[in-house]
Structure 1
Amino acid sequence: MNALIDTHTHLYTEEFDADRELAVIRAVEAGVTRLLMPNIDDTTVEAMLKLCEAHDCCYPMIGFHPTSVDAGWKERLEKVKGYLTSSSHCFYGIGEVGVDLYWDKTFREEQMIVFEEQVKWALEYDLPLIIHCREAYPELLEVLSGYKHTALRGIFHSFTGTSEDAERLLEYESFMLGINGVVTFKKSTLPEVLKNVPLKRVVLETDSPYLAPVPYRGKRNESANLVKVAECLSVIYGVPLSEIASRTTENALKVFTNAEKSF
């Protein structure tokens, strides 16, 4: 069996209330042996921690999602930071964070402020940054440009951009591109784009419960489905599934260096 790492899954959300434990079991049985879990905001931390404390294969991260930025963002961000600074918890990344202007541009400036604050957390605590970006590359890169030559590392989560987008993001040499079920979609341009992206810069993710790969598209996604993403990359890169597994695992460990001893 090929061991895979899901670098981005939200099995702690309400979509899994009916079968959460089974979802973890199905993932492990499918060969997805490590599940990295980005937080969403101040309302989700406890549920995430509860799941991660129950399973050695689950690794929590802490962050404040851009779509959660609202009028009360200062207090909410401070609450999330309280978990990070507490000695009670061990986190493996800062995420997921970023800028999202797809649904609403009302808090554009605030999203950029919140993002930059969390970039500083990642540097201060030597943790990888898990970046979400939707319809906001200019804003995202405006913030990141000042940190290009720092020790910052991480993942550009759910990459679905163009070859030009990929080229700009890969300039951040300690970052990987997170590839999920979108790569399997019939009209996806990702297979073509990835031909210009070295396999050494790619990690696997599901973004469960979202973005289920073919043949599960339209249904709730879960970490066990990561195998379908790996199989698709095997075809794109023309290498055996075992090589996709080993190379993407190696790539993930370059990002999550503080988790390496527990893998």
Structure 2
Amino acid sequence: MFLVDSHCHLDGLNYESLHKDVDDVLAKAAARDVKFFLAVATTLPGYQSMRELVGERDNVVFSCGVHPLNQDEEYDVETLRTLAAEPGVVAMGETGLDYYYTPETKARQQESFRNHIRIGRELNKPVIVHTRDAREDTLAILREEKAMDCAGVLHCFTEDRETAGKLLDLGFYISFSGIVTFRNAEQLREAARYVPLDRLLIETDSPYLAPVPHRGKENQPALVRDVAEYMAVLKGVSVDELAKATTQNFSQLFHIDAARLQSA
């Protein structure tokens, strides 16, 4: 079996007491058939330090971007464009809108979101989208900026079936995290049943949102196996079938040669 963690923050894990180093994290994941990783940035300095931490590896690729919750200071768009063009960067983001925590930066968030999509279209790199309490504006900006030209994923999906349908109409993929295992997430499970297998991704968003029965502990890439097993039951397929589908989807969305995934 070959599983991909399509969204993890390898620079956010506890290397003081839980893991020796990145090698340790990836070895624990491999022991549970999680063999490829997309390490996601949330700031430009964070992207650079994460690349230094992780190094060049056959089984890790990167995103480059500025999270909507990190818009308190302006960043240089040309620097974003330059860094995003680096080898090993397969996606823009994570970007998007979050009106729940920082509604006061709404205008800056929207401008940043548009910049990420525009650069994604220029570089032919998909966008990784975060949204919270901003559904209508998120969908509107995706349409206005023609995000379907570079495609993308709504990561850590927490919206409803109707929103899933609108994203699918835009050609987007939808990624589910450990939240789908939470007791009060029935609306999310309904959406997960609805999303077709060929548009589905799975992720940890580690170190956040550990799935049941690990909830409350630090999440890590190894636990994407728990998400996969839970999603397989929801979708009525074997874990092997879900692993194959989500790995193929990851390969297609992020323009990664399937042979590279199998050899990692």
SS at match of 2:93: strand
How large is the RMSD of aligned CA atoms in angstroms? 1.8
Match in the other structure for 1:142: 140
Aligned mates of 1:187, 1:143 — CA distance in 2:
30
Matched, 1:188 2:190: no
**1:124-176 deviation digits (Å, cap 9, x = unpaired):** 01111111111111221221112448422111101111111111111112x11
Candidates 50, 53, 56, aligned match of 2:52:
50
Contact 1:202–1:251 under 8 Å retained in 2:
yes
Aligned mates of 2:201, 2:112 — CA distance in 1:
25
Aligned mates of 1:52, 1:91 — CA distance in 2:
13
Aligned mates of 2:155, 2:233 — CA distance in 1:
21
Map 1:143-182 to 2 at 5 A.
143-148=141-146, 150-173=148-171, 175-182=172-179
SS at match of 2:45: coil
Quickly say closer, same or farther: Cα 1:193–1:262, change in 2 above 3 A: same
Query: Shift in Å at residue 17 of structure 1?
Result: 4.9
Matched, 1:3 2:2: yes
Quickly say closer, same or farther: Cα 1:123–1:155, change in 2 above 3 A: same
* TM-score, normalised relative to structure 2: 0.91
Point out where structure 1 has 5 or more consecutive residues left out of the alignment: none
Aligned residue identity for 2:107: E
Aligned mates of 1:129, 1:17 — CA distance in 2:
32
Quickly say closer, same or farther: Cα 1:104–1:149, change in 2 above 3 A: closer
Quickly say closer, same or farther: Cα 1:182–1:124, change in 2 above 3 A: same
Query: Shift in Å at residue 78 of structure 1?
Result: 4.2
Quickly say closer, same or farther: Cα 1:35–1:184, change in 2 above 3 A: same
Match in the other structure for 2:232: 234
Contact 2:67–2:94 under 8 Å retained in 1:
yes
Query: Shift in Å at residue 94 of structure 1?
Result: 0.7
Quickly say closer, same or farther: Cα 1:149–1:105, change in 2 above 3 A: closer
Aligned mates of 2:250, 2:88 — CA distance in 1:
18
Point out where structure 2 has 5 or more consecutive residues left out of the alignment: none
Quickly say closer, same or farther: Cα 1:59–1:194, change in 2 above 3 A: same
**1:44-86 deviation digits (Å, cap 9, x = unpaired):** 122221244253211111111111112x3144x444334234x
Quickly say closer, same or farther: Cα 1:74–1:54, change in 2 above 3 A: closer
Candidates 21, 26, 38, aligned match of 1:24:
26
Aligned residues: 257
Candidates 210, 215, 218, aligned match of 1:217:
215
Aligned mates of 1:249, 1:147 — CA distance in 2:
28
SS at match of 1:83: helix
SS at match of 2:4: strand
Matched, 1:120 2:121: no
**1:239-258 deviation digits (Å, cap 9, x = unpaired):** 11100100111111110114
Aligned mates of 1:90, 1:136 — CA distance in 2:
30
Aligned mates of 1:67, 1:139 — CA distance in 2:
16
Match in the other structure for 1:63: 65
